[in-house]
Chains A and B, each alone.
Chain A
Protein backbone atom coordinates (compact mmCIF):
# COMPACT_ATOMS: atom_id res chain seq x y z
CA UNK A 1 0.00 0.00 0.00
CA UNK A 2 1.62 3.27 -1.11
CA UNK A 3 1.29 6.04 1.46
CA UNK A 4 0.13 9.25 -0.18
CA UNK A 5 2.86 11.87 -0.20
CA UNK A 6 5.55 9.75 1.46
CA UNK A 7 8.91 9.69 -0.26
CA UNK A 8 11.18 8.70 2.62
CA UNK A 9 14.88 8.99 3.14
CA UNK A 10 16.80 6.06 1.75
CA UNK A 11 20.12 4.89 3.10
CA UNK A 12 23.13 5.35 0.80
CA UNK A 13 23.14 2.51 -1.73
CA UNK A 14 26.50 1.13 -0.56
CA UNK A 15 25.05 0.36 2.88
CA UNK A 16 21.45 -0.39 1.91
CA UNK A 17 21.99 -4.16 1.81
CA UNK A 18 23.30 -4.10 5.38
CA UNK A 19 20.02 -2.76 6.78
CA UNK A 20 17.39 -5.39 7.58
CA UNK A 21 13.73 -4.85 6.63
CA UNK A 22 11.87 -2.25 8.70
CA UNK A 23 15.09 -0.85 10.17
CA UNK A 24 16.54 2.68 9.82
CA UNK A 25 20.14 3.72 9.99
CA UNK A 26 21.14 5.81 12.99
CA UNK A 27 24.38 7.57 13.85
CA UNK A 28 23.39 7.81 17.54
CA UNK A 29 23.42 4.94 19.96
CA UNK A 30 19.88 4.79 21.33
CA UNK A 31 19.14 2.88 24.53
CA UNK A 32 16.52 0.21 25.15
CA UNK A 33 16.00 -0.99 28.73
CA UNK A 34 12.95 -2.17 30.61
CA UNK A 35 13.91 -0.41 33.83
CA UNK A 36 16.44 1.86 35.52
CA UNK A 37 20.15 1.41 34.85
CA UNK A 38 21.44 -0.81 37.68
CA UNK A 39 24.55 0.17 39.64
CA UNK A 40 27.12 -2.57 39.42
CA UNK A 41 30.48 -2.04 41.14
CA UNK A 42 33.52 -3.88 39.81
CA UNK A 43 34.21 -5.29 43.31
CA UNK A 44 30.80 -6.95 43.33
CA UNK A 45 30.93 -7.99 39.70
CA UNK A 46 31.24 -11.64 38.80
CA UNK A 47 30.31 -13.88 35.92
CA UNK A 48 29.05 -17.42 36.48
CA UNK A 49 28.76 -20.25 33.99
CA UNK A 50 26.04 -22.73 34.95
CA UNK A 51 24.76 -26.03 33.65
CA UNK A 52 21.12 -26.05 34.69
CA UNK A 53 21.16 -24.99 38.35
CA UNK A 54 24.80 -26.06 38.87
CA UNK A 55 27.57 -23.42 38.74
CA UNK A 56 30.62 -24.77 36.89
CA UNK A 57 32.86 -21.71 36.84
CA UNK A 58 32.88 -18.20 38.28
CA UNK A 59 35.15 -15.32 37.33
CA UNK A 60 35.77 -12.12 39.28
CA UNK A 61 36.27 -8.90 37.30
CA UNK A 62 40.03 -9.33 37.57
CA UNK A 63 39.99 -12.97 36.46
CA UNK A 64 37.58 -12.17 33.65
CA UNK A 65 39.80 -9.45 32.28
CA UNK A 66 42.79 -11.81 32.31
CA UNK A 67 41.02 -14.00 29.70
CA UNK A 68 41.99 -13.64 26.02
CA UNK A 69 40.62 -10.38 24.59
CA UNK A 70 39.02 -10.14 21.16
CA UNK A 71 37.99 -7.08 19.15
CA UNK A 72 35.18 -7.18 16.60
CA UNK A 73 33.39 -4.60 14.45
CA UNK A 74 29.77 -5.46 13.74
CA UNK A 75 26.43 -4.04 12.59
CA UNK A 76 23.73 -4.05 15.28
CA UNK A 77 19.94 -3.98 14.97
CA UNK A 78 17.49 -2.96 17.71
CA UNK A 79 13.87 -4.08 17.59
CA UNK A 80 12.84 -0.45 18.20
CA UNK A 81 13.79 0.01 14.50
CA UNK A 82 17.28 1.45 14.48
CA UNK A 83 20.40 -0.16 13.03
CA UNK A 84 23.93 1.02 13.57
CA UNK A 85 26.80 -0.03 11.33
CA UNK A 86 30.43 -0.84 12.14
CA UNK A 87 30.20 -0.73 15.92
CA UNK A 88 33.58 -1.59 17.53
CA UNK A 89 33.56 -3.89 20.58
CA UNK A 90 36.12 -5.63 22.74
CA UNK A 91 35.63 -8.45 25.20
CA UNK A 92 35.88 -12.19 25.74
CA UNK A 93 34.47 -14.62 23.16
CA UNK A 94 32.03 -17.17 24.54
CA UNK A 95 34.38 -19.75 22.96
CA UNK A 96 37.19 -18.54 25.21
CA UNK A 97 34.95 -18.67 28.29
CA UNK A 98 34.15 -22.30 27.56
CA UNK A 99 37.81 -23.13 26.97
CA UNK A 100 38.81 -21.51 30.25
CA UNK A 101 36.05 -23.43 32.06
CA UNK A 102 37.22 -26.61 30.35
CA UNK A 103 33.79 -27.60 29.05
CA UNK A 104 32.04 -28.31 25.79
CA UNK A 105 28.48 -26.95 25.52
CA UNK A 106 26.47 -29.61 27.40
CA UNK A 107 23.03 -28.59 26.04
CA UNK A 108 21.84 -26.81 22.85
CA UNK A 109 20.33 -23.75 24.61
CA UNK A 110 21.29 -21.01 27.04
CA UNK A 111 19.80 -18.25 29.12
CA UNK A 112 21.91 -15.14 29.64
CA UNK A 113 21.27 -13.60 33.07
CA UNK A 114 21.78 -10.02 34.22
CA UNK A 115 22.27 -8.12 37.48
CA UNK A 116 18.82 -6.55 37.21
CA UNK A 117 17.05 -9.90 36.93
CA UNK A 118 16.75 -9.73 33.14
CA UNK A 119 17.23 -12.92 31.18
CA UNK A 120 17.22 -13.74 27.48
CA UNK A 121 17.51 -17.06 25.67
CA UNK A 122 20.07 -17.72 22.94
CA UNK A 123 20.80 -21.06 21.26
CA UNK A 124 24.36 -22.30 21.74
CA UNK A 125 24.88 -22.34 17.98
CA UNK A 126 24.49 -18.53 17.99
CA UNK A 127 27.10 -18.07 20.73
CA UNK A 128 30.03 -20.24 19.63
CA UNK A 129 32.33 -20.17 16.62
CA UNK A 130 33.24 -16.54 17.25
CA UNK A 131 29.64 -15.34 16.87
CA UNK A 132 29.23 -13.85 20.35
CA UNK A 133 31.22 -12.30 23.19
CA UNK A 134 30.85 -10.81 26.62
CA UNK A 135 31.83 -7.25 25.76
CA UNK A 136 33.51 -4.90 28.24
CA UNK A 137 34.56 -2.11 25.87
CA UNK A 138 32.84 -0.08 23.18
CA UNK A 139 34.85 2.11 20.80
CA UNK A 140 37.98 1.63 22.89
CA UNK A 141 36.42 2.71 26.17
CA UNK A 142 34.90 0.81 29.11
CA UNK A 143 31.23 0.17 28.41
CA UNK A 144 29.07 2.85 30.06
CA UNK A 145 26.30 1.73 32.46
CA UNK A 146 23.41 2.80 30.19
CA UNK A 147 24.83 0.64 27.40
CA UNK A 148 25.22 -2.34 29.71
CA UNK A 149 28.54 -1.76 31.49
CA UNK A 150 30.52 -3.25 33.13
CA UNK A 151 29.77 -6.07 30.68
CA UNK A 152 27.08 -7.08 28.23
CA UNK A 153 26.51 -9.98 25.93
CA UNK A 154 27.07 -9.19 22.24
CA UNK A 155 25.19 -11.37 19.75
CA UNK A 156 25.16 -8.89 16.88
CA UNK A 157 23.36 -11.07 14.34
CA UNK A 158 20.18 -11.17 16.47
CA UNK A 159 17.97 -8.22 17.54
CA UNK A 160 19.81 -6.33 20.20
CA UNK A 161 17.59 -7.26 23.15
CA UNK A 162 19.37 -10.65 22.93
CA UNK A 163 22.64 -8.85 23.76
CA UNK A 164 21.79 -8.78 27.47
CA UNK A 165 23.10 -5.73 29.32
CA UNK A 166 24.71 -5.98 32.79
CA UNK A 167 25.30 -9.68 32.22
CA UNK A 168 26.39 -11.78 35.20
CA UNK A 169 26.07 -15.30 33.90
CA UNK A 170 25.31 -17.79 31.20
CA UNK A 171 23.24 -20.87 31.97
CA UNK A 172 22.98 -23.94 29.75
CA UNK A 173 19.42 -25.23 29.56
CA UNK A 174 17.94 -28.44 28.15
CA UNK A 175 15.07 -26.58 26.45
CA UNK A 176 14.79 -23.21 24.72
CA UNK A 177 13.30 -21.27 27.65
CA UNK A 178 11.87 -17.81 26.93
CA UNK A 179 13.51 -14.90 28.77
CA UNK A 180 12.19 -11.48 29.83
CA UNK A 181 11.05 -9.99 26.51
CA UNK A 182 10.31 -13.39 25.01
CA UNK A 183 7.71 -13.92 27.78
CA UNK A 184 6.25 -10.50 26.92
CA UNK A 185 5.34 -11.09 23.32
CA UNK A 186 8.73 -10.76 21.62
CA UNK A 187 10.08 -13.41 19.27
CA UNK A 188 11.80 -16.47 20.74
CA UNK A 189 14.77 -16.22 18.30
CA UNK A 190 14.86 -12.64 16.95
CA UNK A 191 16.55 -12.75 13.53
CA UNK A 192 16.46 -9.19 12.12
CA UNK A 193 16.82 -10.43 8.53
CA UNK A 194 13.61 -12.44 8.88
CA UNK A 195 12.07 -9.58 10.84
CA UNK A 196 11.29 -11.80 13.82
CA UNK A 197 10.19 -9.00 16.12
CA UNK A 198 7.15 -10.44 17.81
CA UNK A 199 6.02 -13.93 18.67
CA UNK A 200 4.30 -15.25 15.56
CA UNK A 201 6.45 -13.25 13.09
Chain B
Protein backbone atom coordinates (compact mmCIF):
# COMPACT_ATOMS: atom_id res chain seq x y z
CA UNK B 1 0.00 0.00 0.00
CA UNK B 2 1.08 3.58 -0.52
CA UNK B 3 1.35 4.30 3.18
CA UNK B 4 3.75 1.41 3.74
CA UNK B 5 5.83 2.27 0.69
CA UNK B 6 6.14 5.85 1.92
CA UNK B 7 7.00 4.91 5.50
CA UNK B 8 9.72 7.08 6.91
CA UNK B 9 10.04 9.33 3.91
CA UNK B 10 8.93 12.88 4.56
CA UNK B 11 6.15 14.17 2.33
CA UNK B 12 6.90 17.85 1.69
CA UNK B 13 4.48 20.73 1.20
CA UNK B 14 4.34 21.83 -2.41
CA UNK B 15 2.60 24.40 -4.52
CA UNK B 16 -0.47 23.48 -6.55
CA UNK B 17 -2.22 25.73 -9.03
CA UNK B 18 -6.01 25.84 -9.11
CA UNK B 19 -6.47 24.97 -12.74
CA UNK B 20 -10.23 25.12 -12.84
CA UNK B 21 -13.21 25.56 -10.54
CA UNK B 22 -16.60 23.99 -11.21
CA UNK B 23 -19.73 24.93 -9.28
CA UNK B 24 -21.35 21.61 -8.29
CA UNK B 25 -24.32 22.92 -6.31
CA UNK B 26 -25.21 26.19 -4.60
CA UNK B 27 -22.97 25.27 -1.66
CA UNK B 28 -20.37 23.01 -3.21
CA UNK B 29 -17.60 23.54 -5.73
CA UNK B 30 -14.96 21.32 -7.23
CA UNK B 31 -11.40 22.60 -7.40
CA UNK B 32 -9.04 20.98 -9.84
CA UNK B 33 -5.49 21.30 -8.50
CA UNK B 34 -2.35 20.79 -10.55
CA UNK B 35 0.63 20.27 -8.20
CA UNK B 36 4.27 20.56 -9.18
CA UNK B 37 4.79 16.89 -8.34
CA UNK B 38 1.70 14.77 -8.65
CA UNK B 39 1.83 11.70 -6.43
CA UNK B 40 -0.17 8.54 -7.14
CA UNK B 41 -2.77 7.68 -4.51
CA UNK B 42 -5.36 5.16 -3.45
CA UNK B 43 -9.01 6.22 -3.89
CA UNK B 44 -10.40 7.35 -0.51
CA UNK B 45 -7.26 9.21 0.56
CA UNK B 46 -7.18 12.92 1.35
CA UNK B 47 -4.91 15.89 0.75
CA UNK B 48 -3.84 18.38 3.38
CA UNK B 49 -4.03 21.98 2.21
CA UNK B 50 -2.40 25.04 3.74
CA UNK B 51 -3.28 28.71 3.31
CA UNK B 52 -0.96 31.51 4.42
CA UNK B 53 -1.95 35.07 5.31
CA UNK B 54 0.38 38.03 4.57
CA UNK B 55 1.58 38.10 8.22
CA UNK B 56 2.56 34.41 8.08
CA UNK B 57 -0.52 33.05 9.86
CA UNK B 58 -1.46 29.67 8.39
CA UNK B 59 -4.53 27.46 8.36
CA UNK B 60 -4.55 23.79 7.39
CA UNK B 61 -7.45 21.49 6.48
CA UNK B 62 -7.94 18.07 4.95
CA UNK B 63 -9.98 17.39 1.80
CA UNK B 64 -10.67 14.04 0.18
CA UNK B 65 -9.51 13.51 -3.38
CA UNK B 66 -12.57 12.99 -5.58
CA UNK B 67 -10.81 12.29 -8.87
CA UNK B 68 -9.54 8.87 -9.91
CA UNK B 69 -5.80 8.06 -9.87
CA UNK B 70 -6.00 7.59 -13.64
CA UNK B 71 -6.43 11.36 -13.97
CA UNK B 72 -2.72 11.88 -13.57
CA UNK B 73 -1.49 15.37 -12.88
CA UNK B 74 -4.60 16.71 -11.17
CA UNK B 75 -6.48 16.25 -7.94
CA UNK B 76 -10.15 17.18 -7.75
CA UNK B 77 -11.33 18.41 -4.36
CA UNK B 78 -15.01 18.87 -3.56
CA UNK B 79 -15.45 21.65 -1.00
CA UNK B 80 -18.69 22.41 0.77
CA UNK B 81 -19.16 25.95 2.04
CA UNK B 82 -19.64 26.20 5.81
CA UNK B 83 -20.87 29.75 6.29
CA UNK B 84 -19.11 30.24 9.62
CA UNK B 85 -15.98 28.42 8.52
CA UNK B 86 -12.47 29.79 8.15
CA UNK B 87 -11.18 27.90 5.12
CA UNK B 88 -14.12 26.60 3.08
CA UNK B 89 -15.51 30.14 2.44
CA UNK B 90 -12.09 31.10 1.08
CA UNK B 91 -12.45 28.42 -1.60
CA UNK B 92 -15.92 29.73 -2.45
CA UNK B 93 -15.56 33.49 -2.21
CA UNK B 94 -11.91 34.21 -2.96
CA UNK B 95 -10.09 31.41 -4.80
CA UNK B 96 -9.98 31.67 -8.59
CA UNK B 97 -8.47 29.65 -11.38
CA UNK B 98 -4.78 30.52 -11.57
CA UNK B 99 -4.32 30.95 -7.81
CA UNK B 100 -1.81 28.74 -6.04
CA UNK B 101 -2.18 27.04 -2.66
CA UNK B 102 0.04 24.61 -0.78
CA UNK B 103 -0.80 20.92 -0.55
CA UNK B 104 0.68 17.81 1.01
CA UNK B 105 -0.19 14.17 0.45
CA UNK B 106 -2.39 12.33 -0.46
CA UNK B 107 -2.49 10.58 2.91
CA UNK B 108 -4.55 7.96 4.67
CA UNK B 109 -4.20 4.22 4.53
CA UNK B 110 -7.44 2.88 5.96
CA UNK B 111 -10.31 4.70 4.30
CA UNK B 112 -9.01 3.61 0.90
CA UNK B 113 -9.95 1.08 -1.74
CA UNK B 114 -7.91 -0.46 -4.51
CA UNK B 115 -9.09 -2.89 -7.17
CA UNK B 116 -7.36 -5.84 -5.48
CA UNK B 117 -9.56 -5.28 -2.39
CA UNK B 118 -12.51 -6.49 -4.50
CA UNK B 119 -16.19 -6.26 -3.57
CA UNK B 120 -19.13 -6.16 -3.38
CA UNK B 121 -18.78 -2.59 -2.18
CA UNK B 122 -21.35 -0.67 -0.19
CA UNK B 123 -20.66 3.07 -0.27
CA UNK B 124 -22.71 5.42 1.89
CA UNK B 125 -22.13 9.15 1.66
CA UNK B 126 -23.79 12.16 3.23
CA UNK B 127 -23.44 15.57 1.55
CA UNK B 128 -19.82 16.35 0.69
CA UNK B 129 -18.97 12.97 2.24
CA UNK B 130 -19.56 11.60 -1.24
CA UNK B 131 -16.18 13.04 -2.34
CA UNK B 132 -13.89 10.07 -1.55
CA UNK B 133 -16.62 7.68 -2.73
CA UNK B 134 -16.59 9.41 -6.13
CA UNK B 135 -12.90 8.61 -6.40
CA UNK B 136 -13.59 4.97 -5.54
CA UNK B 137 -16.45 4.75 -8.07
CA UNK B 138 -14.46 6.43 -10.83
CA UNK B 139 -11.54 4.12 -10.20
CA UNK B 140 -13.77 1.06 -10.03
CA UNK B 141 -15.29 1.82 -13.44
CA UNK B 142 -11.81 1.85 -14.98
CA UNK B 143 -9.93 -0.71 -12.94
CA UNK B 144 -12.51 -3.22 -11.73
CA UNK B 145 -15.86 -2.80 -13.53
CA UNK B 146 -16.90 -6.31 -12.49
CA UNK B 147 -16.85 -5.43 -8.81
CA UNK B 148 -20.49 -4.86 -7.75
CA UNK B 149 -20.93 -1.51 -6.02
CA UNK B 150 -23.86 0.39 -4.60
CA UNK B 151 -23.79 4.04 -3.60
CA UNK B 152 -26.42 5.16 -1.12
CA UNK B 153 -26.12 8.93 -1.28
CA UNK B 154 -27.90 11.23 1.15
CA UNK B 155 -28.49 14.90 0.45
CA UNK B 156 -31.06 17.52 1.24
CA UNK B 157 -32.52 17.84 -2.23
CA UNK B 158 -32.13 16.94 -5.88
CA UNK B 159 -30.21 20.16 -6.53
CA UNK B 160 -27.79 19.46 -3.67
CA UNK B 161 -26.47 16.30 -5.30
CA UNK B 162 -22.77 16.55 -6.15
CA UNK B 163 -21.81 15.03 -9.53
CA UNK B 164 -25.51 14.24 -10.05
CA UNK B 165 -25.46 13.86 -13.82
CA UNK B 166 -22.35 11.71 -13.76
CA UNK B 167 -23.80 9.41 -11.09
CA UNK B 168 -27.13 9.04 -12.92
CA UNK B 169 -25.23 8.28 -16.13
CA UNK B 170 -23.06 5.67 -14.39
CA UNK B 171 -26.18 4.07 -12.89
CA UNK B 172 -27.56 3.65 -16.44
CA UNK B 173 -24.35 2.66 -18.15
CA UNK B 174 -22.46 0.54 -15.64
CA UNK B 175 -23.86 -2.94 -15.12
CA UNK B 176 -22.30 -3.53 -11.72
CA UNK B 177 -23.17 -0.14 -10.24
CA UNK B 178 -26.36 0.88 -8.47
CA UNK B 179 -27.23 4.36 -7.24
CA UNK B 180 -29.82 4.94 -4.52
CA UNK B 181 -30.61 8.50 -3.43
CA UNK B 182 -31.99 9.54 -0.05
CA UNK B 183 -33.33 13.10 -0.19
CA UNK B 184 -34.25 14.39 3.26
CA UNK B 185 -36.11 17.51 2.10
CA UNK B 186 -37.23 16.66 -1.39
CA UNK B 187 -39.38 14.18 -3.27
CA UNK B 188 -37.74 11.16 -4.86
CA UNK B 189 -37.50 11.32 -8.67
CA UNK B 190 -36.85 7.64 -9.36
CA UNK B 191 -38.54 4.49 -7.98
CA UNK B 192 -35.40 3.27 -6.19
CA UNK B 193 -34.86 6.59 -4.39
CA UNK B 194 -36.40 7.79 -1.13
CA UNK B 195 -37.71 11.12 0.15
CA UNK B 196 -36.35 10.74 3.66
CA UNK B 197 -33.17 10.37 5.69
CA UNK B 198 -31.16 7.16 5.51
CA UNK B 199 -32.71 4.58 7.83
CA UNK B 200 -32.45 0.88 8.62
CA UNK B 201 -35.07 -0.10 6.00
CA UNK B 202 -33.18 1.75 3.27
CA UNK B 203 -29.89 0.14 4.28
CA UNK B 204 -31.57 -3.29 4.32
CA UNK B 205 -32.87 -2.69 0.78
CA UNK B 206 -29.43 -1.57 -0.33
CA UNK B 207 -27.87 -4.77 1.02
CA UNK B 208 -30.54 -6.84 -0.77
CA UNK B 209 -29.84 -4.98 -4.02
CA UNK B 210 -26.13 -5.70 -3.71
CA UNK B 211 -27.05 -9.39 -3.70
CA UNK B 212 -24.61 -10.43 -1.02
CA UNK B 213 -22.89 -9.11 2.05
CA UNK B 214 -20.42 -6.38 1.11
CA UNK B 215 -16.78 -7.28 1.40
CA UNK B 216 -16.17 -3.67 2.38
CA UNK B 217 -18.43 -0.81 3.39
CA UNK B 218 -17.26 2.81 3.26
CA UNK B 219 -19.28 5.42 5.15
CA UNK B 220 -18.34 9.09 4.90
CA UNK B 221 -19.90 12.33 6.08
CA UNK B 222 -20.39 14.36 9.23
CA UNK B 223 -20.11 12.34 12.44
CA UNK B 224 -23.87 12.18 13.24
CA UNK B 225 -24.48 10.85 9.72
CA UNK B 226 -21.77 8.20 10.08
CA UNK B 227 -23.24 7.11 13.43
CA UNK B 228 -26.78 7.03 12.00
CA UNK B 229 -25.60 4.73 9.19
CA UNK B 230 -23.17 2.42 10.97
CA UNK B 231 -25.44 1.58 13.94
CA UNK B 232 -28.19 0.02 11.73
CA UNK B 233 -25.53 -1.67 9.58
CA UNK B 234 -24.30 -3.47 12.71
CA UNK B 235 -27.93 -4.40 13.55
CA UNK B 236 -28.24 -5.82 10.03
CA UNK B 237 -25.39 -8.15 10.83
CA UNK B 238 -22.45 -6.59 9.00
CA UNK B 239 -19.05 -7.49 10.41
CA UNK B 240 -17.69 -4.29 12.02
CA UNK B 241 -14.22 -5.13 10.72
CA UNK B 242 -15.50 -4.65 7.14
CA UNK B 243 -16.86 -1.13 7.79
CA UNK B 244 -14.54 1.83 7.29
CA UNK B 245 -15.53 5.35 8.25
CA UNK B 246 -14.35 8.87 7.52
CA UNK B 247 -15.84 11.65 9.63
CA UNK B 248 -15.54 15.21 8.35
CA UNK B 249 -16.26 17.00 11.62
CA UNK B 250 -19.41 18.59 12.98
Q: Which residues of A contact B109 (CB under 8 A)?
A: 183-185
**Chain A min CB distance to B48 (Å):** 8
A8→B53 contact, CB < 8 A: yes
Q: How large is the interface on A (under 10, 10 to 19, 20 to 34, 35 or more residues)?
A: 35 or more
- Across the interface, A185 reaches (CB within 8 A) one of B6, B54, B86, B250, namely B6
B244 at the interface (CB under 8 A from A): yes
In angstroms, Cα B108 to Cα A180, docked, is 12
In angstroms, Cα B90 to Cα A30, docked, is 22
* Residues in B146-183 with C-beta less than 8 Å from chain A: none
Nearest chain-B residue to A181 (Cβ)?
Answer: B110
Tell me which of B7, B226, B233, B241 has the highest count of chain A C-beta atoms within 10 A of its own C-beta. B7
B230→A37 contact, CB < 8 A: yes
A9→B86 contact, CB < 8 A: yes
* Residues in B1-28 with C-beta less than 8 Å from chain A: 1-4, 6-11, 15
Q: Which residues of B contact A1 (CB under 8 A)?
A: 15, 52, 100, 102
A7→B53 contact, CB < 8 A: yes
Q: Which residues of A contact B192 (CB under 8 A)?
A: none
Q: Which residues of A contact B90 (CB under 8 A)?
A: 3, 5-6
B53→A185 contact, CB < 8 A: no
Q: Which residues of B contact A116 (CB under 8 A)?
A: 240
A34→B244 contact, CB < 8 A: yes
**Chain B min CB distance to A182 (Å):** 9
Q: How many residues of B contact A (CB 8 A)?
A: 51
Total A-B pairs, Cβ < 8 A = 124
Q: Which residues of A contact B10 (CB under 8 A)?
A: 200-201
* Residues in A160-192 with C-beta less than 8 Å from chain B: 180-181, 183-185
A53 at the interface (CB under 8 A from B): no
Given A38-B240, A80-B62, A201-B10, decide whether A184 and B3 contact each other with a Cβ distance below 8 A: yes
In angstroms, Cα B101 to Cα A7, docked, is 14
B94→A5 contact, CB < 8 A: yes
In angstroms, Cα B226 to Cα A39, docked, is 15
A4 at the interface (CB under 8 A from B): yes
A32→B101 contact, CB < 8 A: no
Chain A proximity mask over B211-250: 1 for CB below 8 Å, otherwise 0: 0000000010001001100110110000011011101011
A34→B110 contact, CB < 8 A: yes
Given A33-B247, A34-B110, A35-B243, decide whether A8 and B57 contact each other with a Cβ distance below 8 A: yes
Given A6-B51, A81-B62, decide whether A198 and B250 contact each other with a Cβ distance below 8 A: no
- Please name the 6 residue pairs, one residue from A and one from B, whose CB atoms are nearest each other, closest first: A184-B109, A185-B3, A36-B230, A200-B10, A5-B94, A22-B60
